Amino acid sequence: MTRATARAHPNIALVKYWGKRDEAQMLPAAGSMSMTLDAFATTTTVEVDGTLTEDAFSLGGAEQTGVALDRTTRFLDVVRSLAGDGRRARVRSHNEAPTAAGLASSASGFAALALAAAAAYGLDLDERALSRLARRGSGSATRSVIPGYAVWHAGTDDASSYAEGIEAPDLRLVIVTVDGSPKSVSSRRAMRLTAATSPFYEAWVSSTEQSLTEMVRACADGDVPRIGALTESHALRMHAVIATSTPPVRYLAPRSIEVFDAAVRLREAGVTAWATADAGPNVCVLTTPAEAEAVAAAVAEHGEVRIVGPGPGAHLLAEHLP
Ligand code: 2P0
């Protein structure tokens, strides 16, 4: 096959990834755990074309150059070397995430690209191998290959750093978009800065491994309050270690903190609500399916809300993007 199309969704980490031990192989400093979402998919078509002298990459119909094209080409180079096929490719990609919500993600992007490119270049990869391949594009993409809940094992080399599915209770995330503007510092750059300059980085890495072990146990036990408590505390630890970089980086806005406070008040009222946030100001509130509507109504004053749940892993489609 010389043309293939794949679809993948972003994920929200409950135990966060922040920092690499090896940039070339994209090995994380610690493991992480996430929910792959049922919304905001990326669909990507890869067409291998022996007549091209360079790769081409369009996103939402707009031809990409510079960094975006370079990152795609570097990723396709990994696929080409695995396939032993030097031909160039045309990549067309479409994001369903509203760009203003800051949810368009490198996780769904590289998970979809990994599967579409692997299929287009004739590679037959199992889930683990696909997850390892997606990792080379973006760390968080490692987990978006997997449906539902995924643990990314940090590993010590290319073969041992992959994600796999775990059982966990059915949960919902209420996404609160408090600010739709693009983030000030990219995750990749800020991660490097944290690792190089924060005096608390080593403690962050070792405590993350501990949090992951506890999270996996809480998921197996179906212990929702424990999953929630670990999620919120781990997110706050991540933002704390990021803020102790030099120069400091702060992703949370005053309105983000208001949502964290709203989650505390909801819990005091007996509602399941635990907050988390990635490298930006928007906050996700973890809750149960039965309580999701009530939680969404309670936090709607802080921003636009959207309820999401566990979704599918990366998969091939029969239809291709035009
Ligand atoms: C995560 N984030 O675990 C964490 C939490 C953001 C905050 O993974 O350099 O785009 O491509 O590996 O995956 C965002 O960083 O960075 C991220 P690279 P990535 O979801």
Does any domain span residue 142? yes
* Cα-to-centroid distance, 208 and ligand 1 (Å): 14
Do 211 and 279 fall within a single domain? yes
Q: Whose CA is nearest to atom 7 of ligand 1?
A: 278
Does any domain span residue 315? no
Does any domain span residue 8? yes
Do 202 and 85 fall within a single domain? no
Last residue of a domain, one of 127, 144, 168: 168
CATH number of the domain bearing residue 283: 3.30.70.890
Return the axis-axis angle of helices 201-221 and 224-243, rounded to nearest 10°. 170
Does any domain span residue 320? no
**Using a 6 Å CB cutoff, which residues line ligand 1?**
13, 16-18, 32, 106, 138-140, 187-188, 278-279
pLDDT of the residue at 102: 62
DSSP H helices in 52-173: 66-83, 106-120, 127-137, 141-144
Do 160 and 178 fall within a single domain? no
* Cα-to-centroid distance, 126 and ligand 1 (Å): 23
Strands 88-95 and 56-59 turn out to be parallel
Do 156 and 278 fall within a single domain? no
* Cα-to-centroid distance, 216 and ligand 1 (Å): 20
Task: Name the one residue in this structure whose structure tokens are 């990459």.
Answer: 57
pLDDT of the residue at 257: 97
Strands 56-59 and 27-28 turn out to be unpaired
Does any domain span residue 73? yes
Do 21 and 151 fall within a single domain? yes
Do 203 and 246 fall within a single domain? yes
The domain tally of the chain equals 2
Give the Å distances, CA to CA, from 162 to 114, 116, 125, 157, 159: 14, 18, 13, 10, 7
Whether residue 148 contacts residue 34, with contact meaning beta carbons closer than 8 Å, is answered with: no
pLDDT of the residue at 167: 98
Does any domain span residue 321? no
For ligand 1, what atom is nearest to the CA of residue 17? 3
* Cα-to-centroid distance, 284 and ligand 1 (Å): 16
In a 3-state reduction of DSSP, which class is residue 26? Answer: coil
Q: Whose CA is nearest to atom 17 of ligand 1?
A: 140
Do 131 and 184 fall within a single domain? no
CATH number of the domain bearing residue 135: 3.30.230.10
Last residue of a domain, one of 168, 197, 224: 168
* Cα-to-centroid distance, 136 and ligand 1 (Å): 12
pLDDT one digit per residue (tens) for the chain, 322 residues: 599 999 999 999 999 999 999 999 999 999 999 999 999 999 999 999 999 999 999 999 999 999 999 999 999 999 999 999 999 999 999 999 876 556 768 999 999 999 999 999 999 999 999 999 999 999 999 999 999 999 999 999 999 999 999 999 999 999 999 987 767 789 999 999 999 999 999 999 999 999 999 999 999 999 999 999 999 999 999 999 999 999 999 999 999 999 999 999 999 999 999 999 999 999 999 999 999 999 999 999 999 999 999 999 999 999 999 9
Does any domain span residue 314? no
Do 273 and 146 fall within a single domain? no
Domain that residue 238 falls in: 172-308
Last residue of a domain, one of 117, 139, 168: 168
Does any domain span residue 243? yes
Do 58 and 138 fall within a single domain? yes
Do 189 and 164 fall within a single domain? no
* Cα-to-centroid distance, 106 and ligand 1 (Å): 8
ipTM: 0.99
For ligand 1, what atom is nearest to the CA of residue 110? 11
Q: Whose CA is nearest to atom 9 of ligand 1?
A: 188
Do 15 and 134 fall within a single domain? yes
For ligand 1, what atom is nearest to the CA of residue 187? 15
DSSP tag of 6: E
Q: Whose CA is nearest to atom 11 of ligand 1?
A: 138
Do 36 and 158 fall within a single domain? yes
